[in-house]
Amino acid sequence: MLSAIKKEIQLRHTELENKSLKSLYFGGGTPSVLSVDEIKSLLDEFQKYFSFDDNIEITLESNPDDLNKNFLKELSQTEINRLSIGTQSFFDEDLKLMNRAHNASEAESSIKRAQDFGLENISIDLIYGSPTSNFEIWKENLNKTIELQVPHVSSYALTVEPKTALEKWIENGKVSSPEEAEQNQEFYYMKDFLKDNGFDHYEISNFGKPGFHSKHNSAYWKSEPYLGIGPSAHSYNGSLERSWNIANNPVYIKNLNQNILPKETEILSEKDRFNEMMMIGLRTIWGVDLDKINQNFSSEIIDYLNLEIKSKLESGILKIEDNYLKIPEQHWFLADGIASDLFIV
Cα-based distances in Å from 233 to 27, 244, 264: 10, 6, 11
Cβ–Cβ < 8 Å for 336, 279: yes
Q: What is the pLDDT of residue 303?
A: 96
Helices 135-147, 180-196: inter-axial angle, 10-degree rounding = 30
- 186 pLDDT band, cuts 50/70/90, is very high
Tell me what percent of the residues of the chain surpass a pLDDT of 70: 99
| Runs of H (alpha helix) within the chain | 2-12, 36-49, 69-75, 92-97, 104-116, 135-147, 165-171, 180-196, 215-221, 249-257, 270-281, 290-296, 299-315, 335-341
How distant is the alpha carbon of residue 195 from its chain centre?
A: 20
Nearest one of 232, 193, 175 to 28, comparing CA atoms: 232
Nearest one of 58, 162, 118, 148 to 126, comparing CA atoms: 148
Residues in the chain: 345
Please give the torsion angle defined by the CA atoms of residues 42, 45, 50 and 54, in that order, rounded to the nearest 10 degrees.
Answer: 50
- 172 pLDDT band, cuts 50/70/90, is confident
Among 71-85, 127-141, 171-185, name the one with the lowest average pLDDT: 171-185
Interatomic CA distance for residues 161 and 159, integer angstroms: 6
Secondary structure element (H or E) that encloses residue 122, with its range: strand 122-128
Among 84-93, 158-167, 205-214, 330-339, name the one with the lowest average pLDDT: 158-167
Residue 275, classed as helix, strand or coil, is helix
- Please count the other Cβ atoms lying within 10 Å of the Cβ belonging to residue 12: 18
Cβ–Cβ < 8 Å for 117, 73: yes
Q: If you average pLDDT over residues 103-109, what whole number do you get?
A: 93
Interatomic CA distance for residues 309 and 317, integer angstroms: 9
Beta bridge partners of 61: 84
Interatomic CA distance for residues 189 and 206, integer angstroms: 14
pLDDT digits (tens, 9 = 90+) for 243-294: 999 999 999 999 999 999 999 999 999 999 999 999 999 999 999 999 999 9
